[in-house]
Structure 1
Amino acid sequence: MESINWDELELAAKEASKLAYAPYSKFNVGAALLTSDGKVFAGCNVENAAYPLGNCAERTAIFTARVQSNMEHIEAICIYTPTEKATSPCGACRQVLNEFGPTMVVRMICDSDEVLETTLDQLLPYGFGPKNLLDAQKP
């Protein structure tokens, strides 16, 4: 991947947040990811009255990318929250992101000018992933 079009990802994440179903938290999150073949997929959070059954924007984007393109690798993700401070992905999302791009670039944006940018391996040091399982299967 030559470069990341952050303008495109930021716009897609913000647009996805408008579709969030968040009647309980009112925390409308949007995420947009870039796959290794240059495709962009977006997702929003979807809450449920049985709180644990909701889904975060990041995982919605990942599951959508997998279904629509058989995605295997993520280069970057942009996460938008309607806050004054940028918000990082939850632990569950970090783990699922790790499955598809342990070194992906993660950009977090919000309603202010604050932008946080890092890599997933910085957000999830010593992450558990496919390599751990493959190592366990070696004789």
Structure 2
Amino acid sequence: MMKNLTRVPASLKKLYAVAKKARRNAHVPHSGCQVGAAIRLANGKVYPGCNVENASYGGTVCAERGALQTAVCAEGKIKVKEILVVTDASPPWMPCGLCRQVISEFVADAPGGDIAIYSTNLKGEMLATTFAKLYPGLFSPAELKAAQRKKKR
């Protein structure tokens, strides 16, 4: 559902401001598509990320993954509460498939077992969803643990 950033809580506006600032630092010599992200942890701390492109496209790091990596580097084990992405696309872009898979690593430890996902743009448009709706049937560490238990039998 498309919303407008003017009608969201101040805490979400702060997340948007952090992601928008990070977006300016994006290294995008190939696509020119700047993306910023910000994640809020359960402890209230906010971490930014921006996309960093590489001529070998597999080496590119998306903003969402950059923010997660920054948080893990600073905190160790993290509990992600919400993720906000800023692009200049209309409608706003949701996290890509690879980012969704990486985010799935943090869902089990998230407050309430889910993560709020917000996709926004510079026009103030916003899409809001939950990770469970964005990525149903995820492959997570739980599946790996289940497979390991079966091998031990």
Partner residue in 2 for 1:82: 88
Partner residue in 1 for 2:119: 108
Residue ranges of structure 2 left out of the alignment (5+ in a row): 1-8, 109-113
Partner residue in 2 for 1:117: 128
TM-score norm. by structure 2 comes to: 0.84
Matches within 5 A, 1:30-69: 30-69=36-75
Partner residue in 2 for 1:126: 137
Letter of the 1:97 partner, please give it: I
Letter of the 2:127 partner, please give it: L
Letter of the 2:33 partner, please give it: F
Distance 1:71 1:32, change over 3 A: farther
Q: Tell me, in whole angstroms, the C-alpha distance in 1 between the residues paired with 2:46 and 2:77.
A: 11
Quote how far apart the aligned CAs of 1:36 are. 1.5
Distance 1:30 1:52, change over 3 A: same
Are the equivalent residues in 2 in contact too, given 1:85–1:112 (CA < 8 A)? no
Q: Tell me, in whole angstroms, the C-alpha distance in 2 between the residues paired with 1:67 and 1:16.
A: 17
Residue ranges of structure 1 left out of the alignment (5+ in a row): none
Q: Tell me, in whole angstroms, the C-alpha distance in 1 between the residues paired with 2:102 and 2:10.
A: 21
Higher relative contact order (CA 8 A, sep 6+): 2
Letter of the 1:100 partner, please give it: F
Are the equivalent residues in 2 in contact too, given 1:75–1:101 (CA < 8 A)? no
Quote how far apart the aligned CAs of 1:71 are. 3.5
- Specify the SS of the correspondent of 2:117: strand
Quote how far apart the aligned CAs of 1:52 are. 1.8
Partner residue in 1 for 2:104: 98
Q: Of 23, 30, 33, which aligns to 1:24?
A: 30
Q: Which has the larger radius of gyration?
A: 2
Quote how far apart the aligned CAs of 1:4 are. 8.3
